[in-house]
Amino acid sequence: MFSHCESLTSIDMSGFKTREALSFENMFNHCHKLRSIDLQSFSTDKLKQMSGMFQSCESITSINLSSFKTEQINYMSNLFSNCISLEKINITHFDISNVEDMSYMFYNCSSFTSIDLSNFKTINAKDMSYLFGNCYLLKELNLTLFDTSNVISMKNMFFNCSSLISLNIINFNTENVQDMSYIFSNCLNLKIIDVSNFNTHLVKNMSGMFNNCTSLISLDLFNFNTYNVIDISKMFYFCSNLLYLNMATFFLYQVEKYATIFDGCYHLNLTIASDYCYKIMDTIPDYVMVNEII
């Protein structure tokens, strides 16, 4: 409706009747100069689509969504993506139990330092790719109620969350995930990433998974099932402080892409079953200490 109204700075929506509306997709997309918007008069009882609603509203600092009812909504991809001036937003009342697509929802919300998602129940979510990607000032996340049992893609989910100092994902159910590429890439300040409960039996892409996690010291990947993995390139690229890595349980028979997996891992002591990982043995740099299990 107002998509690409790039000179719009303010708008009065108080007279809008939205009771029958099914979609607000891209409603204010690329309204670059819009500074604030009050939508408390909106009725959203029948709404099913909010994708891209505020995408690239680069100047917006506040959004009042207090009246929004979201229990019918299926799509929230790109909802706030590229809202680079938005420092906080209250969506604690959102019911997202029917949302399937959350990809890019908060992508490049680069002014966020925290976001309260403690009430988010994501039981039907299938796509969480780039969900918090490039939220580089984000310091904390509460994902305790996240239900990821139906998620297929976690690609770049926490990409460049470089200010995160801790991340509790022990409750994540990943039994249906196929793509974990770059999920933690560039999480520069995470010293611990507990993925010991991850079920990876369907995962095909693990490329760049821990790419440039420069504070990471150790990883427990003992439960990783890698039978179906095709791409493992840059998985540990420039994990420059990673000291120990046990890949004795890795089976990489299907792998096709495996360049620069360990490049930049200058202090790594690696345990690996060479018979099961024979394709990648020649890619291991000389400075990596290798303990082969035959």
Domain boundaries, the chain: 1-147, 192-294
Pairwise CA distance, residues 181 & 232, whole Å: 9
How many CB atoms are located within 10 Å of the residue 243 CB?
14
The average pLDDT across 118-127 equals 94
pLDDT, residue 17, reads 85
Question: Is residue 114 scored above 80 in pLDDT?
Answer: yes
pLDDT, residue 11, reads 86
Question: Is residue 1 scored above 80 in pLDDT?
Answer: no
The tens digit of pLDDT for each residue in 132-166 reads 999 999 998 989 889 999 999 999 999 999 999 99
* Residue 287 CA, distance from chain mean position: 32
**% of the chain surpassing 90 pLDDT:** 83
pLDDT, residue 88, reads 87
Q: Give residues with Cβ within 8 angstroms of 200, minimum separation 6.
A: 174, 177, 180, 206, 224, 225, 226, 229
Rounded to 5 degrees, what are φ and ψ at 280? -100, -5
Question: What average pLDDT does the structure give for the chain?
Answer: 95
pLDDT, residue 187, reads 98
pLDDT, residue 95, reads 95
The tens digit of pLDDT for each residue in 14-28 reads 878 888 899 999 999
Contact 181, 206 (CB under 8 A): yes
pLDDT, residue 200, reads 98
How many CB atoms are located within 10 Å of the residue 14 CB?
10
Question: Is residue 67 scored above 90 in pLDDT?
Answer: no
Contact 140, 167 (CB under 8 A): no
Where residue 10 falls among pLDDT bands split at 50, 70, 90?
confident
pTM to 2 decimal places: 0.96
The tens digit of pLDDT for each residue in 249-261 reads 999 999 999 999 9
